[in-house]
A and B are shown apart, each in its own frame.
Chain A
């Protein structure tokens, strides 16, 4: 793994910053906002999540703006394993997927047997997608084999469910490590690679996402297998979401601009996007009271 090509930090930061300056207006903005909803993993990962909270968010996921059928559903609802069954029930038949974090999220500091059991149980309970965390203890101590083997095992435990592998870039320290972890996860069979848990700062950043997308691009060139990308943590505004779409578009191209290959994990982004769509359509900002808080 140490042979993986290096990343120049200054260069990656500059490239991301220059893409963030793209000016996305009018029809292109509306299109990007619509896509951000279609690619969103609406997320709640709190100790205080209850069946009631899941029911409310499920309704929001299916119909983000009541009374406006032109607003699409989000891609998935992302919850803790213990809440999967309730989400499954609420989302049945809606097209919105159920995603569950697993493998001792967010730290990953548990036994492999427990991680695998958690994954299997989440899938049994109805999860379509599993968001696992890599074993940073192993990664940072240089035991790449252990990280790899664990991803392979979790992938197997997933069965038909899609596997997103969370690198937790904020704990890896360098872009070189992020790239290394990206390649490792893809080689081990990840369907998606994901920036962060959202529980650690810094979470998703534009340059980290760029570095991961470039790894995906290289992996695609080498193997022919497209891997999806998910940015999560700290993405709260439409402007940020659009910046991610621009980086995605100019790095991986139009083929990646679909929920099958791109996700935005967010808990509070949705209402800002809805507000911006309304602003683009009507020309004026609406009161926040017109957007439901679930």
Chain B
């Protein structure tokens, strides 16, 4: 990735199918230059995870992903000793003295690498995605601090392991919990929101080039109308794209009330939401939204 300037970063992201807005491009650029982790927050489905994936594609780096969940501990996130292999080693050791064995079984060979370790120890630079960090405990956040500020990890038996290459670290959060100041301090902050009309249209058209422009515009307009309602789960960008694909498959020429009711379940996924959307948006569709020039 030619990372000469912000515009270059934006272009290379666009080349791999991610249309970043100005702040996103700038933060991606800074993340590479400063070697700092990026904390991405925003509502569900605005492309937070996708940004990390796009970064990995654009830079040609491997993506190492750590999906967070409640109860995630260091054995699953960082490393774990391979007990079975250690046991085998002890049993097979036979002749060798105890001190040899002891030194031996606590070496890198008996270490099971988990995502964080993998990202650090990798000989090639990687993109590390720590997804939905807000799902974990605060304790886990604290554990990440060493990794995020110094890109190193301490294993009691082995000592400190420093990163050989600088990973690009992306953390995402759905804002379901306030993250600690300590974590935030170590990161660049990026807030992603639902994109502007024009940009969402570009995104939809990028993924479904066969869709006519008028239809794409109308689709995005309807999506925005739906988002404006007070829904349990507003439609995400991914759902806009899914809907566009569905319309293509249905061979729809225009979004009228009938097509809308048929395909509504693609974008709205709650019983109560469906009623609300049908009531508010479906009605508006009866008379054309706006005569397109």
* A and B co-occur in one complex: no
Q: Which residues of A does B touch, CB under 8 Å?
A: none
